[in-house]
């Protein structure tokens, strides 16, 4: 929990990962998965600070359930991640 | 009391214990299967399977007696039996449709857990152009030999027919042995996710059908040696031959879908 | 005016709609009901006539007709036409429900045995995530709804396109809120998407709608629809 008043001046913008017609409307699992992979591929090429990569990071965070991300991060650390990164 | 026998083109069946026996046996198999799968031992399953095999033996023995000794299988009856076999093969093909459906559902759009690719990450598949290709050739060859015996049966050449049938049976048994060796050597199991499940479901069910086909053709051979078949009247053998062709076609679909397309 | 966004005793009708989708569902129900009443009256009328006229005491003549092409055409084509008439608004609604608009807010809904958790990951470094449990009978306050109140409500902005992403960690649950016109199964390994646009402020109640085990009845859903400013304030207080 934040201290009282700390977030008073913070600007909350209603922004989130945009609609992507390549993915099935009713199942977004691959949407989330693709953003996660795109982020890590991007980091490999351009480095973590790149704004393009940061965009992918925001998007996969807004799409993927936290538990999935923890799971995948752990798999990448152990070298058992099934994706192409 | 003398039973009244009416002359009819149709087969008025006698009272038989086998339907009831089969139902009891099948119920035993079902309950035994549940017991076994829950790790509670397999006593009911063993009893169920044994009584099922006994019922099958008894029922078909009676059918053969009705056909050969009692002369109940008139032309009309044979027509009905043939239609029954064809519908049975149709239901079998629908079983394989469902298995292929499951396979293509999982493989055409592989889920993220599989890495989005097929075959899934970490699965080392069976090489299609080695043993599976040999198996394909064996089955295709057996399709030729079974037709050889079929045509010989129709034209009444008993010796040729038995030769062709014998070779078909041997080819079927060799196929099963190679399939068993392939299972033994393969590097994934039925528990290794959806790839293992669909692979062993598809090829395993097919293998069971090959076994059934071998048994049907063997019965045809035994009955031919015993002189029960004529060029006019051999419904049991013909059912086995049709079934064999069906099993053959299913294998071609399996080979193309699972080994070839799904293995690259 | 008080809106009805929660179940009521002996409630047989709909709760009041709060989204265009729910308005569409209510309208479709009315349209189909209109046709259905016509069909029902027609069928009962014909049935009664047959029962009355073809009684053996009243009608001793044995009819010999074996086929009548005209009557068969009528009783095949008429239902077909009626079904097509029903299908038109039904399909229109179905496609409208899945119409995808680029959303302003994404909320992830995760079903557990036996509670819901919500994740708002677009805000701050860590985002917001919390669990939502039912309030037990002993802790209810005056005016609370029994078996429907939760400790942490889900908060959504009104007049905003919202994307709900649903999944589960154990068995299949179903996240359903009648006033929002949403009922979506949460399936492990799947990430279902539903679009919601709430038109008015309110507190919307719902329940898990897929039998998920022992405490299936004890994982209700409460959604609070607030103005965008209020939503932003709430986000600030939670980060």
pLDDT of the residue at A2? 45
Across chain B, mean pLDDT equals 94
pLDDT range class, residue C1, cuts 50, 70, 90: low
Rounded to the nearest integer, the mean pLDDT of chain C is 93
Contacts of A29 in chain C (CB under 8 A): 189-191
**DSSP β-ladder status, C161-168 and C105-112:** parallel
Q: What number of CA atoms fall less than 13 Å from residue B186's CA on the CB side? A: 24
| Interface confidence (ipTM) of the complex | 0.87
Over the stretch B140-199, which tens digit does the pLDDT of each residue have?
A: 999 999 999 999 999 999 999 999 999 999 999 999 999 999 999 999 999 989 999 999
User: CB A61 to CB C191 under 8 A?
Assistant: no
- DSSP 8-state class, residue B14: P
Q: Please tell me the distance from the alpha carbon of residue B14 to that of residue A45, in angstroms, as a whole number.
A: 81
Over residues C51-90, the pLDDT tens digits come to 998 888 888 877 777 888 999 999 999 999 999 999 999 9
Going by C-alpha positions, the residue among B160, B163, B154, B138 that lies closest to residue B244 is: B138
**End-to-end CA, chain A:** 35
The answer on pLDDT for A3 being more than 60 is no
Distance from CA of A30 to the nearest CA of B (A): 7
Look up the CATH number of domain C20-60+67-98.
1.10.287.90
How many whole angstroms separate alpha carbon B159 and alpha carbon B156?
9
- The confidence score (pLDDT) of residue B253 equals 97
Question: Where residue A7 falls among pLDDT bands split at 50, 70, 90?
Answer: low
Look at residue A71 and tell me whether its pLDDT is greater than 50: yes
Q: Which part of chain C is CATH 2.60.40.420?
A: 105-238
Contact C173, C185 (CB under 8 A): yes
Q: For C105-155, how does the pLDDT look when each residue is reduced to its tens digit (9 = 90+)?
A: 999 999 999 999 999 999 988 899 999 999 999 999 988 999 999 999 999
Which partners does chain B have (≥3 C-beta pairs < 8 Å)?
A
Residues of A in contact with C102 (CB under 8 A): 18-19
A1 pLDDT higher than 60 = no
| Burial of B47 (C-beta count, 10 Å sphere; 0-12/13-18/19+) | middle
Per cent of chain A over pLDDT 70 is 89
- Is the pLDDT reported for residue B256 higher than 50? yes
| Domain extent listing, chain A | 27-85
A28-39 per-position pLDDT tens digit = 999 999 999 999
Which pLDDT does position B3 carry in this prediction? 57
User: With contacts defined as CB-CB under 8 Å, which chain C residues touch A10?
Assistant: 236, 239
Going by DSSP bridges, is the β-strand pair C220-226/C154-157 parallel, antiparallel, or unpaired? parallel
CATH class of segment(s) A27-85: mainly alpha
> Residue A10: pLDDT above 90?
no
CB atoms A29 and C190 under 8 Å: yes
Residue B4 has pLDDT above 80, yes or no: no
Q: What percentage of chain B has pLDDT greater than the value 70? A: 98
Residue of A nearest to B117 (CA): A83
For residue B53, the SS3 value is: helix
pLDDT of C36 above 50: yes
pLDDT computed for residue B5 by the predictor: 61
Q: Is the pLDDT of residue B2 over 80?
A: no
User: What would be the CATH architecture of the domain defined by C105-238?
Assistant: Sandwich (2.60)
From residue A24, give the alpha-carbon distance in Å to each of B23, C174, C182, C191, C193: 47, 20, 18, 10, 9
Chain A touching partners, 3 or more CB pairs below 8 A: B, C
Q: Is the pTM of this model over 0.90?
A: no
As annotated, the residues of chain C forming the CATH 1.10.287.90 domain(s) are 20-60+67-98
User: What does the pLDDT read at residue B1?
Assistant: 45
Sorting pLDDT into bands at 50, 70 and 90, what band is B97? very high
Vertex B187 angle, CA B185 and B189, to 5°: 100
Q: Is the pLDDT of residue A25 over 70?
A: yes
Question: Counting beta carbons within 10 angstroms of the beta carbon of residue B53, is it exposed (0 to 12), middle (13 to 18) or buried (19 or more)?
Answer: exposed
């Amino acid at each position: 929990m934040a201290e009282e008043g700390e977030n008073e001046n913070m600007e909350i913008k209603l922004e989130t990962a945009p609609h992507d017609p390549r993915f099935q409307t009713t199942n977004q699992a691959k949407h989330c998965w693709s953003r996660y992979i795109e982020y890590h591929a991007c980091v490999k090429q351009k480095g973590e600070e790149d704004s393009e990569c940061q965009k992918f990071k925001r998007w996969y965070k807004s799409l993927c359930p936290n538990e999935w991300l923890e799971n995948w991060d752990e798999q990448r650390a152990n070298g058992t991640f099934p994706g192409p990164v | 009391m003398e039973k009244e026998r009416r002359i009819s083109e149709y087969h008025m069946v006698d009272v038989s214990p086998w339907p009831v026996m089969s139902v009891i046996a099948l119920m035993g198999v079902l309950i035994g299967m549940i017991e076994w799968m829950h790790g509670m031992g397999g006593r009911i399953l063993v009893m169920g399977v044994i009584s099922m095999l006994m019922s099958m033996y008894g029922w078909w023995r009676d059918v053969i007696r009705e056909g050969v000794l009692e002369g109940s299988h008139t032309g009309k009856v044979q027509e009905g039996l043939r239609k029954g076999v064809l519908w049975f093969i149709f239901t079998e093909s629908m079983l394989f449709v469902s298995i292929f459906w499951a396979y293509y559902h999982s493989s055409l759009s592989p889920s993220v857990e599989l890495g989005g690719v097929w075959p899934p990450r970490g699965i080392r598949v069976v090489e299609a152009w080695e043993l599976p290709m040999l198996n394909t050739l064996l089955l295709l060859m057996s399709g030729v030999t079974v037709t050889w015996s079929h045509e010989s049966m129709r034209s009444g050449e008993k010796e040729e027919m038995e030769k062709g049938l014998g070779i078909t049976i041997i080819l079927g048994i060799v196929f099963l042995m190679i399939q068993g060796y392939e299972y033994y050597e393969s590097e994934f199991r039925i528990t290794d996710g959806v790839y293992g499940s669909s692979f062993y479901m598809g090829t395993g069910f097919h293998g069971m059908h090959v076994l059934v086909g071998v048994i049907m053709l063997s019965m045809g051979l035994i009955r031919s040696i015993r002189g029960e078949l004529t060029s006019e009247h051999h419904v049991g053998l013909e059912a086995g031959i049709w079934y064999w062709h069906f099993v053959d076609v299913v294998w071609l679909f399996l080979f193309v879908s699972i080994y070839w397309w799904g293995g690259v | 005016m008080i809106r009805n966004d929660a179940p009521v005793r002996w409630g047989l009708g709909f709760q009041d709609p709060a989204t265009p989708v729910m308005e569409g569902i209510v309208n479709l129900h009315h349209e189909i009901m209109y046709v259905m009443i016509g069909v029902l009256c027609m069928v009962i009328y014909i049935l009664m006539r047959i029962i009355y006229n073809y009684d053996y005491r009243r009608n001793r003549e044995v009819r010999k007709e074996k086929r009548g092409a005209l009557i068969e055409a009528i009783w095949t084509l008429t239902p077909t036409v009626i079904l097509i008439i029903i299908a038109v608004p039904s399909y229109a609604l179905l496609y409208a429900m899945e119409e995808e608009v680029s959303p302003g807010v994404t909320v992830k809904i995760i079903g557990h045995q036996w509670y819901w958790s919500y994740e708002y990951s677009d805000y701050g470094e860590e985002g917001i995530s919390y669990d939502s449990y039912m309030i037990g009978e002993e802790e209810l306050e005056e005016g609370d709804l029994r078996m429907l109140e939760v400790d942490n409500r889900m908060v959504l902005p009104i007049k905003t396109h919202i994307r709900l992403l649903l999944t589960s960690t154990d068995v299949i649950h179903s996240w359903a809120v009648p006033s929002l016109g949403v009922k979506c199964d949460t399936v492990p390994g799947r990430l279902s998407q539903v679009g919601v646009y709430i038109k008015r402020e309110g507190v919307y109640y719902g329940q898990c709608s897929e039998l998920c085990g022992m405490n299936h009845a004890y994982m209700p859903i409460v959604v609070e629809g607030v103005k965008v400013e209020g939503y932003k304030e709430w986000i600030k207080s939670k980060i």
